[in-house]
A and B are shown apart, each in its own frame.
Chain A
Amino acid sequence: MSLLNLLRFISLRHMRLQKAQTFMAVSGICLGVAAIVSIGIINNSILFSFEDSINKVTGKAVLQITGAQSGFPEELLEKVQGVTGVEYAVPIIDTHGILVGGKEESLMILGIDVLIDHQIRSYSLSEDNSDIPDPLLFLAKPDSILITNRFAEREKIKLEQKINIQTVQGIKTLKVRGLLNPEGPAKAMDGNIAIMDIYAAQMAFGKEGRIDRIDVSILKGETIESVKKRIEDALPKGYNVDTPEGRTKQVEILLSTFQRNINLISFIAVFVGMYLIYNAVSIAVVHRKKEIGILRAIGTKRGQIIRLFLSETLVIAVIGSSLGIGFGIFLAKSLVSVFGQVVSEIYMRTSVNEISISYDHLIKGFFAGIITSIIAAMFPAISSSRITPISAIRSVPFSEDGFFTKKKLGIASIFFVVCAVCLFLQYKLTENNSYFHSSLGVFVATLFILIGLSLATPAFLKAYLLFFRRFIASKMGSSGKLAGLNLQKNINRNAVAAAAVFYGISVFVSTAGFMYSAKMSVMRFIDNAVKAEILITSGHPLATTGSKNIPMPLDMLKEVEKIPGVLQADPFRKLYVSYNNRRTLLLNIDVARRLSYSSFMVVSGEEKNLSNILSNKDNVLINEGFALKNNIKPGDSIVLPTPNGQVSFGVAAIIVEYTSDIGSILMDIHTYQRYWKERLADTIAVRVKDKKNSEAVRKAIQDKFGNDRKLFVLLASEFKKEIRKIIDQVFVFNYMLNVITLTIASLGIIVTLLASVLERTREIGILRAIGMLKKQVSQVVVLESMLLGLAGGTLGCVAGIVNGWMTLDGFYRSDFGASAQYFIPYASIIWAIIISGLLSAIAGIYPARRAAKTNIVEALAYE
């Protein structure tokens, strides 16, 4: 009750009177919570869209049998149909094509057995075709296709119209036999789904004799588990028999690294927001020292003072978190399609346009905002209770650093840095132990570096100001001198503002370093791997794993090689396989050919004679990520499921390979063809006899195949440019985070400077009284702000370089599957310094105006 009185009569009034400070604190929490909420919603929406598509396409099937992405022999269908308890087992071709012409939309294409598929899925056609007795039967004609009403409307396609679809066999002309109502499968993928007869789909997509999936419904009285077990027993090893939920779970595992990383990033935003709260409450405590003294003198207990500040923070946190939820939803809505696109490019095809809000994420974000704010307010609140009642009577100096004395700060700073070093060393020294070798440890180490160095900000600021006053201030006239002196008076408090910039800039520089190094490493790898002058893909310029890429038949190679000027054409095929129930990328190239002009970047294992070891042999290379996740060394063997059962492959070496964050296996394409019985390539790398003729050769390739299929025939430079584009897309959230942290840092500066200006009212009044111009007052305050910003920015760059390096080492190798060398991002560092100076100068404008407006008479009467 007494707390309510204090809150009502004192805290709420302060909030109302100091609108600017309240606004900053609320904004800080709002941004942090928005980061958490938006990321949560985006992650959820992406998973939901997968789940939704899987469920809609699943129909009544309770079990789904999948093998390698290349498909498996259709003879297995009979085996499954013969299993006791199976009601229906229907084959599916699950692939995609691209509509040629129009918006070039990608379509999920389901090849179904028209005679039995209706037992699993229901299809309903729009009224226009109500005279068709059984539309599915029409599909028996190989040129037939059903598309959804929605897709037809978007692409302005009419019934019975002929459309061109890009397939593995080139561009196929198909006739639209019916338009599907948005029911069942037709609702999946935002309507970008088409139905074909299974036989026609097999022919068009190079899957003769193979199917991608078998959907199974079970008889009444049977349990899913028992039927699943029977099916597993009936099939060769290496097939996945899973429920639709299980398949969603697999997608979740596939995306887990991506999702975890963006979650960690949102955590940093909250951390920076937490700092702002610490800053705001610390300043409030100093600013209200006298008030606290009076309250203590007339009988307010220490605990009541602490609770008062915590309750104030709680009120701000509740408002900030509530607004953060709204802003987070807005951010998620604006960004979900960008993220969907990134996931589509890198992992799996998806179409996410709508957000799916789970209350869990909102509650998580809300409480994260509140709990972190309270924790952040705890230290200054406790230090507030140290204010003695005597300070109400006379000006007893209150060491504003509370129990953070210089000595304690120094010790804490060293402690955190040492802990960070230990954690990182532990990470480095336990490379072969996946239990201790965790990137989470590195993340904590980077946080410790941030905390450790931020605690050193007062010492750094002191040295920095000494330098400024000695060498620079004298050249800047009275403003420079005053600014330097003012900042030196309250080193600890000003250090808090500098530290806010420190956090913003260190996050900026570490992400910049991480991204720059990742880019440089990937580009080096690409330079090493791609020696060809021309790259041919179909459906997507890079033929990335989850993309709209449509493989090409291997027979194309010979035809390409016949084109004048072509030296050789090499195939590249990649697809997901399951290893230890986790999706892994299988990369297939012609090893002998590749080695004739370029080597692999071997980390350990065989380096010489790889051509003999791999070519058409049961040996593979694996990348570091795969080796690390599965604890595999050169000389070990791995068992992979092939369409013809499980096969053991020897691991010849571990190599640097960046294609995927889930781990990759590299195999000779002849070995692959032998076991997978598939003759497709996603990319054809073309080397020309004379580099000067590259452009002419490209044109010749385009001319030769352009009528049959839509190809991307890119020069190596264009191909690399596309890769850079994808890397930038992957880091889109990092950019967003930079904006958020720098905004919060600027808010921190404004809060500090405002408090400093208010506190110096009398001093400013005196300066104005003895003839200082308003403009000069403003100049001093803006200069102070800039100096703080530059100090924080400089220290932030140091932390940013260290953290960027650690993050790269800790995350990149395990998450992206390859070692990356750290490159100091010089350009970004220069930008960081400019930004910190500029942003803080801008942040200083408002306090400067407040200072300039000081009423001289009132200020001098100020007690």
Chain B
Amino acid sequence: MIELRNVSKIYLHGSSEVSALKDVSISIKKGEFLTIMGPSGSGKSTLLNLVGGLDQPSIGEIFIDDKPIHNISDDELTLIRRRSVGFIFQFFNLLPILTAVENVSLPLMLEGISFTKIKPKAKELLGKVGLEKRSEHRPEQLSGGEMQRVAIARALITNPAVLLADEPTGNLDSKTSEEILSLLKYLNGQGQTIVMVTHDLKASTYGTRIIKLKDGALSEDISIGGNGK
């Protein structure tokens, strides 16, 4: 479903080149819950950004559902992000001026669908993540865990092929972290493909497969079947 072939990413720092990712090839199957681990600077977020189309590889090819997402125009890539990928960020990245339900509806609003038509589905998703009563609250009125739930609902509204989560519990306490991870596990159980970056060993146990990166290169690829709660 997601295929990375010999992908490298090189950043320019002033006049010197820094390799963030070196010749990585991975294949992610539909329904997998892949966890990417590694120390700081190992290239895990870079890898996630490339899979999500937030960034373009310097060398190599990336396919989602057999469609290439490398060497395509910015607009095409944007549409892939909008329709095929759902993002969950460490700092939630909700728009402070929108309410929870409006934040969730945003990706579909970008498709030109009117808010009134999206609202029922957005509310349903908020219900699914346990926030049916908080739908009219603004981000500043929500707790960290609640904000991350809103972000998950937003990521789900387009029925994306893959859900990408970058340290989704990095900014949450352990109890809330467990709740969020359980929610992701539940979604995965429903067939949702998930790719999650984390440096929390416990979090990685919720996945079905773990890959480890070191200095930008793939160092381990372990299939675990998942034993999270």
Query: Chain A residues in contact with chain B, CB under 8 A?
Result: 1-2, 5-6, 8-10, 13-14, 17, 290-291, 293-304, 388-390, 392-394, 863
Contacts and interface: CB of A to CB of B under 8 A. Distances in A.
B97 A298 contact: no
Contacts of B49: 390, 393
Nearest to B171: A863
B78 A301 contact: yes
B12 interface: no
Nearest to B74: A302
B93 A393 contact: yes
B89 A393 contact: yes
B45 interface: yes
Which 6 pairs of residues, A with B, have the shortest CB-CB distance? A299-B82, A1-B112, A5-B109, A2-B112, A389-B54, A299-B81
Contacts, number: 89
A394 B94 CA distance: 14
A392 B93 contact: yes
B55 interface: yes
A248 B91 CA distance: 71
Given A5-B110, A13-B98, A299-B81, 15 more contacts: A5-B115, A6-B109, A9-B98, A9-B106, A9-B115, A17-B97, A293-B93, A297-B54, A298-B82, A298-B106, A301-B75, A301-B79, A302-B74, A302-B78, A393-B90
A290 B98 CA distance: 14
A300 B74 CA distance: 10
B91 A863 contact: yes
Given A5-B114, A393-B54, A393-B166, A298 B87 contact: yes
B89 A299 contact: no
B154 A9 contact: no
A1 B114 contact: yes
Nearest to B98: A9
18 contacts: A2-B112, A5-B114, A5-B115, A6-B109, A9-B98, A10-B98, A290-B93, A294-B94, A295-B95, A295-B106, A297-B52, A297-B87, A298-B106, A298-B154, A299-B82, A389-B54, A392-B93, A393-B54
A291 B95 contact: yes
B17 interface: no
Contacts of A392: 89, 93
Chain A interface, >50% SS class: helix
A9 B82 contact: no
B109 A2 contact: yes
Interface string B136-170: 00000000000000000010000000000010000
A46 B107 CA distance: 57
Contacts of B111: 2
Interface in B78-104: 78-79, 81-83, 87, 89-91, 93-95, 97-98, 102
Contacts of A9: 97-98, 102, 106, 109, 115
Contacts of A295: 95, 106, 110
A390 B48 CA distance: 11
B97 A14 contact: yes
Contacts of B166: 393
A302 B75 contact: yes
Contacts of A302: 74-75, 78
Nearest to A300: B110
Contacts of B107: 298-299
Nearest to A302: B74
Interface string B101-141: 01000110111111100000000000000000000000000
Please tell me the size bucket of the interface on B: 20 to 34
Contacts of B109: 2, 5-6, 9
B81 A298 contact: yes
A48 to B, nearest CB: 49
Interface of B: 45, 49, 52, 54-55, 74-75, 78-79, 81-83, 87, 89-91, 93-95, 97-98, 102, 106-107, 109-115, 154, 166
Contact of A300 (B55, B78, B154): B78
Contacts of A294: 93-95
Interface centre among A299, A301, A388, A389 (most CB of B within 10 A): A299
A390 B110 contact: no
A2 B114 CA distance: 8
Contacts of A1: 112-114
Contacts of A298: 81-82, 87, 106-107, 110, 154
A392 B94 CA distance: 10
Contact of A299 (B78, B112, B115): B78
A136 B81 CA distance: 90
B208 to A, nearest CB: 25
A291 B91 CA distance: 13
A389 B90 CA distance: 15
A301 B80 CA distance: 11
Nearest to A8: B115
A123 to B, nearest CB: 69
Nearest to B157: A298
Interface centre among B49, B90, B166 (most CB of A within 10 A): B49
Contacts of A297: 52, 54, 81, 87, 93
Contacts of A390: 49, 54-55
Contacts of A389: 54, 81
Contacts of B79: 299, 301
A10 B95 contact: yes
A291 B90 CA distance: 15
Contacts of B87: 297-298
A2 B110 contact: yes
A290 B78 CA distance: 17
Given A9-B102, A393-B49, A393-B166, A299 B97 contact: no
A393 B45 contact: yes
Nearest to A290: B93
B1 to A, nearest CB: 19
A296 B89 CA distance: 14
B103 to A, nearest CB: 9
A299 B82 CA distance: 4
Contacts of A290: 93
Nearest to A304: B110
A302 B73 CA distance: 11
Contacts of B89: 392-393
A270 to B, nearest CB: 31
B148 to A, nearest CB: 14
Interface centre among B78, B87, B111, B154 (most CB of A within 10 A): B78
Contact of B74 (A14, A291, A301, A393): A301
B74 to A, nearest CB: 6
A193 B113 CA distance: 69
A300 B77 CA distance: 10
A649 B161 CA distance: 92
Contacts of B52: 297
A287 to B, nearest CB: 12
A390 B50 CA distance: 10
B66 to A, nearest CB: 20
Nearest to A11: B97
Nearest to A294: B93
Contacts of A14: 97
Contacts of B55: 388, 390
A56 B104 CA distance: 70
Nearest to A3: B112
Nearest to B112: A1
Interface centre among A10, A14, A17, A293 (most CB of B within 10 A): A10
Contacts of B94: 294
Contacts of B113: 1, 5
Contacts of B106: 9, 295, 298
Contacts of B98: 9-10, 13
Nearest to B97: A13
Nearest to B81: A299
Nearest to B96: A291
Contacts of B90: 393
B81 A303 contact: no
Given A302-B78, A390-B55, A5 B112 contact: yes
Contacts of A296: 78
Nearest to A392: B93
